[in-house]
Amino acid sequence: MKNVIIPFFAAASLAFTACEQTTPSEAAQHNQAGEATADTAVVFRDGKSAATVAGNAAGSVANAFDISKAKLKSVKFPEVRLPNITVTEDSTYSVYAVSDDVLFDTDKATIKPTAAATLDEIANSIGTRFASRDVQVTGFADSRGDASYNMQLGQERANAVKAYLVKNSKLTKNRVDTESFGEQKPVATNATPAGRQQNRRVEIVVRKK
């Protein structure tokens, strides 16, 4: 009987010791993963973001958007009356675009008080036409200045627009994603002031299906 009991307790002791030897970094990573949500930006050592970890089953909002091959055409929505909003769309996406100077002061990511009417009109249009659809807010810059700075500024501005829409409309935060392309994907030349102005913009993209 003793020959059976002693090895059993020895094995149990070894297993307990192995659990006790978990490193602090491993424990922290476990806790971090447990708390991750689709809105966090923690990146784990396996290369997956918290959004990926949390959204593997249903898919994240960001993964649903790819307008790089979309053939967008200008459209007129009756409810969009302000001249500083342009709308383009195809069968899959509708894109509301606004110049950055309408929403922000130079090099700032705080929405100007005067921008409220513009964002409210866009939010109303989305609520009327696409009440249950996912939305992505994307920030762009011109090519002046440091590329990493432009990328960061674009992200901060996209985040600010998301925060405004979630606070002041029926859009919920889990329906709205953000992304920055910085100085990538210009829509005009960066060699002229007029072209650079067009490239500094925020786009609010709705996936229609």
The 10s digit of each residue's pLDDT in 115-139 is 999 999 999 999 999 999 999 999 9
User: How many C-beta atoms surround the C-beta of residue 155 within 10 A?
Assistant: 19
Mean pLDDT of 130-152: 93
Residue intervals in the chain for CATH 3.30.1330.60:
66-207
Q: Are 199 and 158 in contact (CB under 8 A)?
A: no
Hey, CA dihedral for 167, 173, 175, 181, is it positive or negative? positive
Task: Report d(CA 51, CA 37) in Å as an integer.
Answer: 6
- C-alpha span between 143 and 116 (Å, rounded): 27
Task: Report residue 204's pLDDT band, with 50, 70 and 90 as the boundaries.
Answer: very high
- Overall pTM > 0.75: no
- Please give the CATH topology (third level) of the domain spanning 66-207: 60s Ribosomal Protein L30; Chain: A; (3.30.1330)
Averaged pLDDT, 51-57: 37
Looking at the DSSP assignment, which residues form a beta bridge with residue 1? none
* pLDDT for 14 beyond 80: no
Q: Please provide residue 64's backbone torsions phi and psi, each rounded to the nearest 5 degrees.
A: -85, -10
More confident residue, 92 or 13: 92
Using the 8-state DSSP alphabet, how is residue 46 labeled? Answer: T
What mean pLDDT is predicted for residues 185-208?
Answer: 92
Backbone angles phi, psi at 13, to 5 degrees: -65, -40
Identify the pLDDT of residue 64: 62
56-98: pLDDT as tens digits = 433 445 456 777 778 899 999 999 999 999 999 999 999 999 9
Q: Pick the residue with more confidence: 176 or 24?
A: 176
